[in-house]
Amino acid sequence: DGGITQSPKYLFRKEGQNVTLSCEQNLNHDAMYWYRQDPGQGLRLIYYSQIVNDFQKGDIAEGYSVSREKKESFPLTVTSAQKNPTAFYLCACRDRDNQPQHFGDGTRLSIL
């Protein structure tokens, strides 16, 4: 079955530590997205990539970094510069046609 997989489901970060969230898709979609979700807020866009080896900042990119070395993979690194990383992170992908975005099941990141 084609889909989009995020791992791990739960992640804990120590102060000053960088952590990486994984997002893999086998739908052969060109575009991939990372969103952050906080309580009482909708999803906010962190980074997006429309093609391999290219990505763009979203609305809240500070303290985060990404890479897109392969079409199927779009990992998100939460750096120590992100002072409030506790949130639910969702990855999504979309093809070039006008179909909706497909979402992964998310990663819950907490501070130790």
Position 2 contacts another protein (CB under 8 A)? no
Nearest C-alpha neighbor of 26 from the set 66, 74, 81, 88: 74
CA distance 105 to 5: 7
Q: Closest approach of Cβ 67 to another protein, in Å? A: 19
27-86 binders of another protein (CB under 8 A) = 31, 33, 40-45, 48, 50, 56, 58
The full DSSP string for 13-69 is: E-TT--EEEEEEE-S--SEEEEEEE-TT--EEEEEEEEETTEEEE-TT-TTEEE--S
CB nearer another protein, residue 43 or residue 77: 43
Q: Closest approach of Cβ 47 to another protein, in Å? A: 11
Site residues, another protein (CB under 8 A): 31, 33, 40-45, 48, 50, 56, 58, 88, 90, 92, 94, 96, 98, 100-101, 103, 105-106, 108
